[in-house]
Amino acid sequence: MSARFNSRKRLVERTLTKARDWAIESGAVKAAIVVGSYAYDRPRMGSDVDIVLISEQAERLANDLPFVPAIAPGSRLIRAKQWGTLFERRFRHPSGLIIECGLVTPQWCAIPLDAGTRRVLSDGCRVLTDDGCMDEALNALRTSQAPA
């Protein structure tokens, strides 16, 4: 593994720690998770980091972006898109790292899980902080995948 890639992985871990800390301190986030290649520990140098913030205030957070200076200082917004109930906000960190934040309401991980949420979580997720809503979703996912 190259020194450059090791440096990138350390930056991602610092970013995830900041995301967890901000989510806890904000009081507005029920859970923060990582999905994608960093969740299932197979990132490449060009991989982005995918963070999902679950909040009753998802739309406000998506519009005000209070988390960006806290988790990725100096980053700039490069894409804002809505995918159904998910508000995607994509940022480029000064290092070049792409940070994709998906903001959703708790309905995203409500039981029964919808097909999109099930697919994302089945690929792997890493819980940064959770008030219990993700625990329920992940237990439901494990139960549905258990052999009969």
Can you say whether the dihedral through the CA atoms of 108, 59, 63, 72 is positive or negative? Answer: negative
Q: Any idea which of 23-27, 66-70, 143-147 has the lowest mean pLDDT? A: 143-147
In the chain, where are the structural domains located?
3-145
Tens-place pLDDT, residues 78-106: 999 999 889 999 999 999 999 999 999 99
Sheet containing strand 31-35, strands side by side: 76-83, 86-92, 98-104, 49-54, 31-35, 125-130
* Cβ atoms of residues 93 and 8 within 8 Å: no
Burial code (b: 16+ CB inside 10 Å, e: under 16) for 25-55 equals ebebbbbbbbbbbbbeeebeeebbbbbbbbb
The whole model's pTM is what?
0.93
CATH superfamily, domain at 3-145: Beta Polymerase, domain 2 (3.30.460.10)
pLDDT above 90 covers a percentage of the chain that reads 85
